[in-house]
Amino acid sequence: MKRLLGVALLAIVVAGGLSCGDSTGPKGPGTLQIRLTSPAANSGADSAIVLAITGPAPLTSVTAGAGLRLFSQPLTGTTTRFAITGPLINGATILTIGVADIGAFSQYTGTVQGVATPTYQLRPILSGYALAVIR
Q: Are strands 130-134 and 30-37 parallel, antiparallel or unpaired?
A: antiparallel
- Classify residue 8: in a domain, yes or no: no
Mean pLDDT of 111-129: 94
**Structural domain for 45, as ranges:** 25-134
Domain total of the chain = 1
- Mean pLDDT over all residues of the chain? 86
- Classify residue 18: in a domain, yes or no: no
- Classify residue 51: in a domain, yes or no: yes
Tens-digit pLDDT profile for residues 5-27: 444 444 444 444 444 444 455 68
Taking the model in full, what pTM does it have?
0.79
Q: What CATH number does residue 104 fall under?
A: 2.60.40.680
Closest to 135 measured CA to CA, from 98, 92, 83: 98
- Classify residue 15: in a domain, yes or no: no
